Chains A and B, each alone.
Chain A
């Protein structure tokens, strides 16, 4: 039996579709109501959790595999996992975004950046040798510049429509993001056959689609 933690929301939907295309039974996932733990006919158990919790469950060996965005992996300081595959779903990118006038603005004090990803933002500005003040937000980061609390934002951009609707634009692209298949390091030692069977099926499909 393989236990997988899947990030709730869009990743969950994309992953369910991918599994179905690879020939896995997804009936119980599609028809789930409020159950937190789902079993499938392929002897897989799935739990659906918030992105950061996927990593916590992997770290403590509660699950063998995790389906989580690269954004979550990059933001976390935990590194003891295997990142087996790029699933090529949930594609988007990190960007610095602001009102267009940001480009030519001269700052006479430390500029302020709103983000859900303080570590990524910190690393990005450190590489440019820029000192900024980071303000962590939990959602609707775009509000930062709109309400005048911050000068810019560092956030995930998928289509850019939210930015556009609010008059903001991408100033600089930071890095590409997609969904990854990760594993606990010890699980891979004891269940390598079952895990690599899943890896092979997924990789074949993912590469076929590219």
Chain B
């Protein structure tokens, strides 16, 4: 191609100039900001450039292929902002604070998606991080803020789905095969679970029964209560009761469902995980969770919970 032609073209990775629904997007942002301000969540601007090593130090299986990168002046590999949670955790560390902190952010993350698949490499997100807040009350506060946002955006027929990384981790402990369990549960693979259980003769019968049902264990609070009634493992029981307690304290419950086969999509999730779905978006529009050990990577042993709103998905659906 002639160099002259390129001045009219944009690269495949680019989102292009957006003219559609810009006003609508700003309106959504304004609504989010209003709610975040009301809850005294401080908005922070996060840099665009980070060392790839920052992400690698947190994610053991960090997929570098998805990162836009270049070699910096110091010869180190620099990444275009891949997420907000990690830079915010580092910020908390570097400012030597110990108390509760509440951050919100608005901006794009950049993920180098495969071309010609109709995917977006520039993803517009908003989100919050509530740092150093205690377990159940922190969960409830985060979910209540989420519900306030959803209510304000007037999204119909949404589903707010809760899951537990602790539950998943306990299962892995009992079964002893995290990789296989992740493979089966993240795909809700009924056939593979049946096959797998048949090879596991030593597993306790009650646990086997639970595992066989697990790929399909998605439903309302009655489903959760049924499982609480039948499960024998003390630790699992405790974890599910905690989940039930979070549910009990949430202000508005009608949109809530549970997915016990939810697998941690981020390896730092330790406890509550959640996602929001609407019928018009083929992907979740919100995802979040609790990460009580993430800040330890930055020498601060404080619990935290956060969530990201996928504004492109929300905008497309509204």
State the A residues within 8 Å of B (CB): 56, 59-61, 77-86, 184-190, 192, 196, 199, 203, 206
Given the known inter-chain contacts A84-B189, A85-B190, A199-B190, please indicate yes or no for A190 contacting B118, CB distance below 8 A: no
Inter-chain contacts of B187 with A (CB < 8 A): 81-84
Docked pose: A78 CA to B187 CA in angstroms? 12
A190 touches B282 (CB 8 A): no
Docked pose: A149 CA to B69 CA in angstroms? 36
B282 touches A188 (CB 8 A): no
Q: Mark B156-189, 1 if CB is under 8 A from A, else 0.
A: 0001010000000000000000000000001111
Shortest distance between the CB of B184 and any CB in chain A (Å)? 9
CB-CB nearest in chain A for B259: A189
Shortest distance between the CB of A209 and any CB in chain B (Å)? 13
B278-315 interface (Cβ within 8 A of A): 279, 281-284
B118 touches A84 (CB 8 A): no
Shortest distance between the CB of B119 and any CB in chain A (Å)? 8
Give the total number of A-B pairs whose CB atoms are below 8 A apart.
Answer: 58
Inter-chain contacts of A84 with B (CB < 8 A): 187-191, 215
Shortest distance between the CB of B300 and any CB in chain A (Å)? 32
Docked pose: A206 CA to B216 CA in angstroms? 18
B161 touches A189 (CB 8 A): yes
B residues contacting the other copy or chain, number (CB 8 A): 22
Inter-chain contacts of B118 with A (CB < 8 A): 56, 59-60
Shortest distance between the CB of A86 and any CB in chain B (Å)? 4
B283 touches A186 (CB 8 A): yes
Selected from A60, A81, A186, the residue in CB contact (under 8 A) with B277 is A186
CB-CB nearest in chain B for A52: B117
A203 touches B190 (CB 8 A): yes
Inter-chain contacts of A56 with B (CB < 8 A): 117-118
Shortest distance between the CB of B278 and any CB in chain A (Å)? 8
CB-CB nearest in chain B for A57: B282
Inter-chain contacts of A81 with B (CB < 8 A): 187
Inter-chain contacts of A79 with B (CB < 8 A): 186
CB-CB nearest in chain B for A87: B191
B117 touches A186 (CB 8 A): no
B281 touches A188 (CB 8 A): no
Q: Mark B266-286, 1 if CB is under 8 A from A, else 0.
A: 000000000001010111100
B137 interfacial contact with A, CB 8 Å: no
B114 interfacial contact with A, CB 8 Å: yes
Given the known inter-chain contacts A186-B277, A189-B159, please indicate yes or no for A82 contacting B188, CB distance below 8 A: yes
A189 touches B218 (CB 8 A): yes
